[in-house]
């Protein structure tokens, strides 16, 4: 009978140890699951914040582009009005050339050549800026991830 009691005590101690170990393992697993869940939630929140920031940046860029487009249209209209005014002035000068003196015609030609030189300089500057812009666009396109 004594061996039965010892065996029962050993079994009871084993079962108690097994239950305690199992409970300890389960609590460790639960703690690990909670840590992993918290990390996953943090990663999801970080991804959502990054997506939101990117969406905001895209919206801002689109709004800025719309504003630039409005300014370009207004600038083009103003340039058109200025060109129309210059056409009238040029037509008036042409009509008066035959009645003007040789000196007046020389001054008019000199002024026209000055304006022509200024226009040529501006066209050159615009062409250089356009070339630089095109080069920058190609550089950005080539450097873009996923190429």
Domain extent listing, the chain: 105-147
Q: What is the pLDDT of residues 92-133, one digit of tens each?
A: 888 888 888 999 989 989 999 999 999 999 999 999 999 999
What pLDDT does residue 103 have? 92
Write down the mean pLDDT value for the chain: 85
User: Sign of torsion, CA 76 77 82 88?
Assistant: positive
- Helix, strand, coil: what percent of the chain each, to 5? 95, 0, 5
Beta strands in the chain (DSSP E): none
Residues of the chain with pLDDT > 90, as a percent, come to 31
CA 106 to CA 18: how far, in whole Å? 113
To the question of pTM greater than 0.75 for the whole model, the response is no
């Amino acid at each position: 009978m004594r061996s039965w009691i010892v065996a029962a005590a050993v079994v009871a101690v084993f079962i108690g140890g097994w239950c305690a170990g199992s409970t300890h393992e389960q609590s460790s697993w639960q703690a690990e699951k909670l840590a992993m869940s918290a990390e996953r939630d943090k990663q999801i929140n970080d991804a959502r914040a990054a997506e939101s920031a990117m969406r905001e940046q895209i919206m801002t860029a689109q709004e800025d582009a719309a504003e630039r487009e409005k300014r370009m249209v207004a600038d083009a209209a103003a340039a058109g009005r200025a060109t129309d005014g210059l056409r009238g002035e040029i037509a008036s000068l042409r009509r008066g050339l035959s009645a003007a003196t040789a000196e007046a015609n020389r001054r008019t030609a000199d002024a026209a050549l000055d304006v022509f030189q200024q226009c040529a300089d501006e066209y050159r500057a615009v062409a250089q800026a356009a070339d630089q812009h095109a080069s920058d666009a190609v550089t950005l396109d080539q450097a873009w991830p996923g190429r």
